[in-house]
């Protein structure tokens, strides 16, 4: 195992985008579940 | 990814840039599937053994991640696949989905004590770490990084503070590795202590959320204690995350005007607060609003089954995050900076544990998740 890589400004931007990406993916999945597109029993 | 790492990836060998991260995600998915298999299988295989039943999925996920880490490091593949180990994305998506299982009323009623706990805890631990770092002669920037990391929320706070005080890259790397080195054992130690102290799930959750530095580790420890503890730990933790902006703005101003005395320094404003605000908190609250509304429109049994699907998906994302923690774990060269920063961080962690316990007991002892 190696040393921790120092985060760069690029990675900070990635972290910022990941915030929005996680919000969108999470809410879209929730809407798909509520509307029945992802039915009960599908997720193992 | 560093230049050296980039040079080691398959881009040079003519492999499309997306293949290695995609392969990394595949590794995470396979280890997550193995975690789910163990989580469901072990209690059956060792029926009657209390210990097997007591082991929650974060334990399997982290251990499998660490084993995968060792194998991939030994085979030289780890750095190439690292682009797929998206701990932050997985944990934040999992937390947005977690919002669906928390009634909006719980978030609203727990937010008050969570904010009070956050402000008192962050101020106390930050000032203690800053003072101790000064007594031991640490560089001001490293003091600021360690203080932010131990008092708020680990790596992301250290990154934000590093930008505010313009710290050196190695100081940030060092602080980040200290955070991980201390967070990993606390995932297991704090739930055990909470059980030994006989804390209620709400107090245990507030303690874990206020004390453990990284959001992923808070979620892992909260899961080990139980669903109610996880809910409170998450609310307390996202409240602290949301306070990063305030600390960063204060640090930026403090360093610009008092430590470095730059005449040309611009005053940080509201834009900076918004830029530092963790946006997934909005997703977490939105999911709670949507689910709380949805549950008023359908029969209870149907609502429970549907939210159960969201919970299953949430578990998957959390497993992906915990596997990634194991895969990402790196042993830092702690010797380089000497024993003093480690001593400061360890002492600050002890103060954090004690103050957080006192505040959690004070603010959450009469609180129950309905």
ipTM: 0.77
B193 near A CB under 8 A? no
B310 near A CB under 8 A? yes
Choose between B160 and B89: higher pLDDT: B89
Selected residues 1-44 of chain A with any CB under 8 Å from a CB in chain B: 1-9, 12, 15-16, 18-27, 29-31, 33-34, 38-40, 42-44
Give the pLDDT score at B81: 93
Confidence of residue B3 (pLDDT cuts 50, 70, 90): very low
Selected residues 16-55 of chain B with any CB under 8 Å from a CB in chain A: 36
How far is Cα B92 from Cα B57, in angstroms, rounded to an integer? 18
Interval B314-362: pLDDT, tens? 999 989 998 998 898 776 545 566 778 888 989 999 999 999 999 999 9
Interval B144-181: pLDDT, tens? 888 888 887 677 777 777 777 777 777 777 787 788 78
Contact yes or no for A21 and B100 at CB 8 A: no
**Contacts within 8 Å (CB) and 24+ apart, B188-193:** B188/B59, B188/B221, B188/B224, B190/B221, B191/B221, B191/B224, B191/B225
How far is Cα B2 from Cα B71, in angstroms, rounded to an integer? 21
Mean pLDDT of B176-200: 88
Sequence length of chain A is 44
| Residues on chain B touching A2 (C-beta within 8 angstroms) | 73, 79, 330-331
Does residue B135 carry a pLDDT above 70? yes
Give the pLDDT score at B334: 57
Q: In three state form, how does the secondary structure of B286-332 look?
A: HHHHHHHHHHCCCCHHHHHHHHHHHHHHHHHHHHHHHHHHHHHCCCC
Which sequence spans correspond to the domains of chain B?
Answer: 87-364
Interval B57-83: pLDDT, tens? 888 898 999 999 999 999 999 989 999
SS3 content of chain A, % helix, strand, coil (to 5): 60, 0, 40
Give the pLDDT score at B266: 64
């Amino acid at each position: 195992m190696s040393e921790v890589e120092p985060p760069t400004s690029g990675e900070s931007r990635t972290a910022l985008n990941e915030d929005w990406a996680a919000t969108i993916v999470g809410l879209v999945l929730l809407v798909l579940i509520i509307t029945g597109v992802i039915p009960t029993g599908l997720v193992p | 990814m560093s230049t050296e790492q980039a040079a080691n990836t398959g881009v040079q060998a003519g492999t499309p840039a997306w293949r290695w991260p995609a392969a990394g995600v595949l590794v995470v998915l396979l280890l997550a599937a193995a975690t789910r298999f163990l989580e469901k299988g072990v209690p059956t295989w060792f029926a009657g053994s209390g210990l097997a039943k007591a082991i929650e999925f974060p334990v399997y996920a982290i251990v499998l991640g660490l084993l995968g880490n060792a194998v991939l490091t030994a085979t030289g593949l780890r750095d190439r696949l690292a682009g797929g180990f998206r701990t932050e994305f997985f944990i934040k998506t999992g937390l947005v989905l977690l919002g669906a299982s928390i009634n909006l009323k719980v978030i609203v009623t727990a937010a008050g004590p969570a904010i009070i706990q956050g402000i008192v805890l962050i101020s106390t631990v930050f000032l203690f770490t800053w003072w101790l770092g000064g007594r031991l002669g640490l560089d001001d920037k490293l003091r600021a990084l360690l203080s932010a990391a131990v008092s708020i929320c680990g790596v992301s706070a250290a990154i934000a503070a590093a930008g505010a005080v313009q710290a050196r890259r190695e100081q940030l790397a060092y602080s980040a590795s200290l955070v991980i080195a201390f967070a990993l054992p606390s995932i297991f130690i704090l739930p055990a202590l909470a059980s030994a102290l006989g804390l209620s799930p709400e107090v245990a959750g507030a303690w874990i959320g206020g004390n453990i530095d990284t959001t992923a580790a808070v979620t892992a420890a909260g899961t080990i204690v139980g669903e109610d503890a996880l809910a409170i730990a998450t609310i307390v933790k996202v409240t602290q995350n949301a306070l990063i902006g305030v600390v960063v703005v204060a640090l930026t101003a403090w360093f610009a005007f008092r430590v470095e005395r730059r005449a040309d320094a611009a005053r940080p404003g509201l834009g900076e607060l918004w830029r530092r605000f963790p946006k997934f908190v909005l997703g977490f609250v939105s999911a709670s609003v949507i689910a709380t509304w949805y549950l008023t429109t359908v029969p209870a049994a149907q609502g429970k089954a549907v939210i159960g699907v969201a919970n299953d998906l949430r578990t998957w994302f959390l497993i992906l995050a915990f596997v990634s923690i194991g895969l990402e774990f790196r042993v830092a060269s702690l010797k380089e900076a000497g024993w003093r920063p480690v001593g400061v961080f360890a002492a600050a962690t002890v103060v954090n544990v004690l103050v957080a316990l006192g505040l959690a007991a004070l603010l959450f002892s009469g609180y129950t998740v309905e």
